[in-house]
Chains A and B, each alone.
Chain A
Amino acid sequence: MGWLCRPFFRAKYIQKVEYPWEAAMSAPAPTSSNPTTTSTTSTSSSSPVEPTRRAGGRPILLLGLVAIGWLALYNVIEPLANWLTYSLFGLEHGSRLGESVAFFLYDVPKIILLLGGMIFVITLIRSFFSPEQTRAFLGGKREGVGNVLAASLGVVTPFCSCSAVPLFIGFVESGIPLGVTFSFLVAAPLVNEIALVMLFGLFGWQIALLYMVSGLVIAVLAGIIIGRLKLERYVEDFVWQIHSGKAALDLTKPAWPQCLNMGWQSVKEIVGKVWLYVIVGIAVGAAIHGYVPQSALADIMGKDAWWSVPAAVGLGVPLYSNAAGVMPVVNALMEKGAALGTVLAFMMAVVGLSLPEMIILRRVLKPQLIGIFIAILAAGITLTGYVFNWLL
């Protein structure tokens, strides 16, 4: 495996880049450099070439400071939320309003901090992978092994659904079996980093892990089934006529400080995109938390309501983009008696079966194959929901 980002000590590749957090450094309080601070700095007027030694050391120092500030903030949220609710606002412990307000004030900063910190780390990890390397790695792998590898790489390879078409064409025409390609295409959106972070923050690491593993299993099985069904005829004909040859692997690779910058950019982008959903979702969740009586939902969304899993999947499919807002609501629902399997199935349907991606894939797949793809995925997700309801 090569690197998309080069290690920082290769000074040859290091150029001066603009760090949005450099402005934050001059601010008095160290906490102001936390990842959620919205940056207003865009470009600096510095010349493109500057002494390389400075560029290597400074981001590491900054990263350390940011990490310390992040940890410090993360640890004061809970006492601060409690103090605000019960001392400053004078709400009563155990009262409905008090519970809801404390829940909201604790969860919003916690989830936003977690999202910021973890998206940064995930982006750095992903910068070590690229679709080109993944394709080269998957070439010539057998079915089965290939499906498992493709699904796992689908999780770590940077992927945006708008790239689904070139990626699909590139994979298929380089001889990677259709089923293996599908394992990648299922896993990449299904094991969603925002969902993963929010599950970790709201439900704990066990459920986050469970989500990831079941996502991988679904991706592997869906790929194997599609491979076995021999559906090559349902791929649009022009795909088979493209011979794009070997992908360019010798691209200029960004240097280490630029990778940190990339991490920062994606934090800004993702947190900027989802913060409102998070706040609204947590507000609804907080209201449910405080006002809905315990186990009120056991009858509708509990284990014994067999129809709740397919209903959750059916409801989740059109809700593609609101994973960040859906999660806190789902968390609160679970507290009131909704079953875990039902909740997981709902979430997977929200993030994994996205309508825009299907529309994009329609360019390379005939409607029959899109239909089969959706059916297999929905069936897999529903089955997972039942299995967890039955197991736990």
Chain B
Amino acid sequence: MLNVKVLGSGCANCKKLEAVVRKVLAAQGLSAEVEKVTDYAEIMKWHILSTPGLVVNDKVVSTGRIPGESELRNWLMP
């Protein structure tokens, strides 16, 4: 099962990132568990310095920006 974590304390960009992720998942017909990590102590376990961070299957793939849909497809598609 695909596991996606959106790291961020609830800023506008974090919500936007979550929405884009869900959109790509839906468009590709993928089922995934999308988690929002908002606790700073938890976020810092992923060694990131800027939010929003995106974690796909326990690997940080991007930080501090909202990736494009084509990039997201590459990370999310098996």
A-B complex is real: yes
Please tell me if the beta carbons of B68 and A163 are within 8 angstroms of each other in the complex.
Answer: no
Stretch at the interface among A71-79, A221-229, A241-249: A241-249
Please tell me if the beta carbons of B47 and A163 are within 8 angstroms of each other in the complex.
Answer: no
Please tell me if the beta carbons of B60 and A248 are within 8 angstroms of each other in the complex.
Answer: yes
Please tell me if the beta carbons of A48 and B40 are within 8 angstroms of each other in the complex.
Answer: no
Tell me if A261 is interfacial: C-beta within 8 Å of chain B: yes
Q: What is the chain A residue whose CB lies nearest that of B24?
A: A43
Say how far B57's CB is from chain A's closest CB, in angstroms: 14
Complex Cα spacing A43 to B73, Å: 13
Tell me if A110 is interfacial: C-beta within 8 Å of chain B: no
| Count of chain B residues near A, Cβ 8 A | 32
Please tell me if the beta carbons of B50 and A159 are within 8 angstroms of each other in the complex.
Answer: yes
A: contact size bracket = 35 or more
Known: A48-B74, A162-B11, A169-B40. A248 touches B64 (CB 8 A): no
Tell me if A25 is interfacial: C-beta within 8 Å of chain B: no
Mask: chain A, 353-389; 1 = CB below 8 Å from B; 0 = not: 0000000100110000000000000000000000000
Complex Cα spacing A254 to B63, Å: 12
Tell me if A62 is interfacial: C-beta within 8 Å of chain B: no
Tell me if B44 is interfacial: C-beta within 8 Å of chain A: yes
- CB-contacts of A94-136 with B (<8 A): 130-132, 135
Contact for B64 among A16, A158, A252, CB less than 8 A? A158
- CB-contacts of B1-31 with A (<8 A): 8-9, 11-14
Known: A166-B50, A248-B47. A160 touches B41 (CB 8 A): no
Residues of A within 8 A of B (CB): 15-18, 43, 48, 130-132, 135, 158-160, 162-163, 165-167, 169-171, 238, 242, 244-248, 251-252, 254, 258, 261-262, 265, 360, 363-364
5 contacts between A and B (CB under 8 A): A158-B64, A163-B11, A166-B48, A167-B49, A244-B45
